[in-house]
């Protein structure tokens, strides 16, 4: 691996014929944008004929020109990382040291901090305001029942969201843990309901089914997912994407939590006084039952 397409072109520049070399220079000069131009355009820029561009591509070892473009595309996105492979890549370098000097944990915290800050910032920057406010509106509508569901780790986010919503609105339901209960839960999805699904890789098929089902029943669907988009996103009315980068093999849910908290805050804001009433009420109930 290791080599980028540009490096590869530079390396094999010597094997090319003069006219082909002109093509390669044009490609490198405008890298990576030029690669996505049409063959004819590139040919014109390099002052050669179209077939020369083709020959250049094939001599570089590509099946055709689209093949070369595809190679660059897949180089541009950095996906395909399962927790295991991440672990194997990262851990190898400085592993053996057993007794860590004091500074190390400090360094770890510092590195983690900047990663988290970056991830949270990017997440919030990339949230389309419209999506966020659609979600707020849906969750603020008292006539809609709310269902929340999450996966292996993310069910905790679902519960967190649900717990907060419960504080100031009715009809918040959690996806049960056990299969039998889940079935009856899913049959109860109705029109006007809004379903919130957390689905991060590895995506869980039942989340997609759930979203699809909720949609078919005429309900609205909100999906929290990572930048690679859960398949459930296909059936969603609102998709909220959060970054997951971290310095460990596991995805970070911190940006997701931050977004959930903002969502809760916005919903509370939106519901306003009614919500306040309910908060007070639930507090007094809690006091009388001695739960506080």
Partner DNA sequence: AGCCAAATGTACCGTGTGTTACGTGTGGGA
Partner DNA sequence: TCCCACACGTAACACACGGTACATTTGGCT
Beta bridge partners of 240: 224
**Residue showing tokens 């039952």:** 289
Q: Shortest CA distance to 135 belongs to which of 244, 223, 254? A: 223
Cβ–Cβ < 8 Å for 176, 158: no
Please tell me whether residue 112 adopts helix, strand or coil conformation.
helix
Please tell me whether residue 25 binds a second copy under the rule CB under 8 A: yes
Q: Closer to DNA by CB, 64 or 91: give it.
A: 64
Tell me the sheet residues that pair with 220: 194
Contact between 14 and DNA by CB under 7 A: the answer reads: no
Residues from 221 through 240 that contact DNA (CB under 7 A) = none
**Is 241 a residue that touches DNA (CB under 7 A)?**
no
Query: From CA 83, how far away is CA 105, in angstroms rounded?
Result: 22
Q: Give yes or no for a contact between 149 and 196, defined as CB atoms under 8 angstroms apart.
A: yes
Between 104 and 187, CB nearer to a second copy: 104
Smallest separation (angstroms) from a second copy to the CB of 272: 6
Residues touching DNA, count (CB under 7 A): 23
CB of 138 to a second copy, least distance (A): 13
**Three-state secondary-structure class, residue 147:** strand
Reading the block at residue 165, the tokens are 């919503």
Instruction: Determine how β-strand 238-241 pairs with β-strand 220-225.
Output: parallel
Nearer to DNA, 54 or 158 (CB): 54
Query: Please, which of residues 19-38 interact with DNA by CB under 7 A?
Result: 19-20, 38
The single residue listed with the structure tokens 């405008």 is 30
Return the residues of window 116-135 that contact a second copy according to CB under 8 A: 116-118, 120-122, 124-133
Q: What is the dihedral of CA 150, 154, 160, 166, to 10 degrees?
A: 0
* C-alpha neighbours within 13 Å on the C-beta side of residue 4: 10
CB of 266 to DNA, least distance (A): 22
Q: With CB cut-offs between 5 and 8 Å by kind, which of a second copy, DNA, none does residue 64 bind?
A: DNA
Among 9, 27, 52, 150, binds DNA (CB under 7 A): 52
CB nearer DNA, residue 43 or residue 240: 43
**Residue 136 interacts with a second copy (CB under 8 A): yes or no:** yes
Query: Among residues 50 and 156, whose Cβ is nearest to DNA?
Result: 50
Binding positions for DNA, rule: CB under 7 A: 17-20, 38-41, 47-52, 54-55, 57, 63-67, 218
């Amino acid at each position: 691996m290791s080599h980028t397409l540009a490096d590869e072109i530079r390396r094999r520049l010597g094997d090319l014929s003069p006219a082909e070399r002109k093509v390669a220079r044009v490609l490198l000069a405008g890298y990576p944008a030029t690669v996505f131009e049409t063959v004819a355009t590139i040919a014109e820029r390099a002052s050669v004929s179209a077939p020369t561009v083709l020959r250049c591509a094939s001599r570089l070892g590509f099946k055709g020109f689209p093949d070369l473009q595809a190679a660059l595309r897949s180089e541009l996105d950095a996906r395909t990382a399962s927790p295991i492979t991440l672990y194997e890549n990262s851990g190898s370098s400085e592993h053996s040291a057993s007794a860590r000097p004091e500074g190390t944990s400090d360094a770890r915290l510092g590195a983690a901090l900047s990663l988290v800050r970056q991830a949270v910032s990017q997440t919030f920057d990339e949230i389309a305001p419209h999506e966020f406010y659609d979600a707020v509106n849906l969750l603020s509508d008292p006539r809609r029942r709310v269902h929340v569901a999450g996966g292996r780790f993310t069910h905790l986010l679902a519960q967190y969201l649900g717990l907060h919503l419960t504080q100031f609105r009715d009809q918040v339901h959690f996806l049960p843990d056990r299969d039998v209960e889940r079935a009856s839960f899913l049959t109860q999805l109705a029109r006007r309901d809004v379903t919130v699904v957390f689905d991060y890789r590895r995506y869980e098929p039942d989340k997609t089914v759930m979203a699809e089902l909720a949609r078919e029943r005429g309900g609205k669907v909100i999906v929290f997912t990572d930048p690679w988009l859960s398949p459930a996103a296909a059936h969603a009315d609102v998709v909220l994407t959060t970054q997951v980068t971290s310095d460990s093999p596991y995805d970070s849910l911190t940006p997701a939590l931050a977004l959930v908290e903002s969502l809760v805050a916005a919903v509370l804001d939106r519901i306003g006084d009614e919500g306040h009433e309910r908060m007070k009420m639930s507090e007094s109930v809690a006091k009388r039952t001695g739960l506080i």
